[in-house]
Structure 1
């Protein structure tokens, strides 16, 4: 059972980072997710606000979606991964959650931590179907096709540099790299291949 609570985001600063939409193909548009990030240094706690999504893709002409958001956090250069999720919203392509999810993150690990957020259609029988992803980390975007990732990197850097709370819209992407585990002696030889692989978070 996920740990979440309702949160009032009306006092949050809302922004949308400028993106070069000319490099973002229309058929790749999967909708947008409004996310708030805050790091409380004294408590060593990362608060992630999942506020709302808009213009998610329908499953078909006659079926909308039951969206749920899954969060996966890798702590620094370790193999420790934490996973949480929001509640499910029924039959909507513009869900509103207004939920805040917290992770305990030591300050020493924050700069090298990675947060992946996936929006899924919740299926009671089959595996949940991915609708789009975000990835927050202190890195360089992978290729010009992933120009939307710039907004996630800027937002994350503001958090790790002690910036104030900001609620920002981000473009969802088709896939996010699986959160990599810290390479051990038995897997280091495959680290190059792992860094270049892409997949959705299960």
Structure 2
């Protein structure tokens, strides 16, 4: 609490503060980052709470990233997670640590609400360095808003059947804004590692950027292979003449917070329908 009180010039628009520690070992080229706790996060739920988690990225180039676990119903989460990255002394001098604060939403797209960027070049990381940093509000870049798609994923173990129900999409647009009225369809691709296994697509909607499908795409996936399955959901514009244009895509890696939750599918048999932002 003494360290917390020493934090100076925290702006009124701050999304809260985060306490972290950093240490770099030049002999092993290991950078150790500890997320310790966050304090005074802004409420996001009607009950005055939040469901926060942080993503860590080493800039430039977003060459390395990681994510902490989700903390439910709290404005002062005790994080207590350690992350280790391989980074030489030369790389440390040109690296900035970016922390993105997200609000988890079971039924919609997780929202990025804040960020912290810490250049490492002027820090003494020869021993553990404790830092408190204010979390600045995050604004989503408008030029990357390609729209959202809603779908659910379920698995029937007895039939070894994976079902993706594509419900609808909203606010679809091509990156160059070359067309207003689109003829969109959704293509779902199942892969394992770098090998694409199967792909299926919905019907094409016409003259709309907010279509509704409610179509089920069914894939045969062996139970033992489910944990290694990745999925890509992509929105396309049917050009009629010429090649179809990709609007954007969502990638769900196997067994990650943003991906296909293998154990959830095996036990609860479904991931409920929610919105995913196209990128």
Alignment of 1:1-202 (within 5 A): 15-21=107-113, 22=138, 24-57=140-173, 60=177, 63-74=180-191, 76-77=192-193, 79=195, 81-138=197-254, 152-153=258-259, 156-157=261-262, 159-163=264-268, 164-173=270-279
Equivalents in 2 of 1:104, 1:118: separation in Å?
A: 20
**Gapped runs of 5+ residues in structure 1?**
1-13, 141-149, 174-202
Rg larger in 1 or in 2? 2
Deviation at 1:62, TM superposition (A): 6.1
Number of residue pairs the alignment of both structures matches: 148
Deviation at 1:87, TM superposition (A): 0.2
1:111 aligned counterpart, secondary structure: helix
Equivalents in 2 of 1:24, 1:64: separation in Å?
A: 24
Runs (4+) of structure 1 exceeding 3 A deviation are 58-63, 76-80, 155-161
1:110–1:160: 8 Å Cα contact kept in structure 2? no
User: Deviation digits for residues 3-40 of structure 1, max 9, x if unmatched?
Assistant: xxxxxxxxxxx811532152632211111100110011
Residue 88 and residue 111 in structure 1: after superposition, are their counterparts in 2 closer, same or farther (change >3 A)? same
Normalized per residue, the structure richer in helix is 1
TM-score by length of 1: 0.65
2:159 aligned counterpart, secondary structure: coil
User: Deviation digits for residues 84-138 of structure 1, max 9, x if unmatched?
Assistant: 1100000000000000000000011111111111100001111100111011122
Greater relative contact order (CA < 8 Å, ≥ 6 in sequence): 1
Residue 17 and residue 28 in structure 1: after superposition, are their counterparts in 2 closer, same or farther (change >3 A)? closer
Residue 53 and residue 17 in structure 1: after superposition, are their counterparts in 2 closer, same or farther (change >3 A)? closer
Equivalents in 1 of 2:263, 2:167: separation in Å?
A: 19
Equivalents in 2 of 1:62, 1:115: separation in Å?
A: 28
Equivalents in 2 of 1:128, 1:62: separation in Å?
A: 13
Residue 94 and residue 38 in structure 1: after superposition, are their counterparts in 2 closer, same or farther (change >3 A)? same
User: Deviation digits for residues 129-176 of structure 1, max 9, x if unmatched?
Assistant: 011101112266xxxxxxxxx6x42x6456445334400111111xxx
Equivalents in 2 of 1:57, 1:27: separation in Å?
A: 11
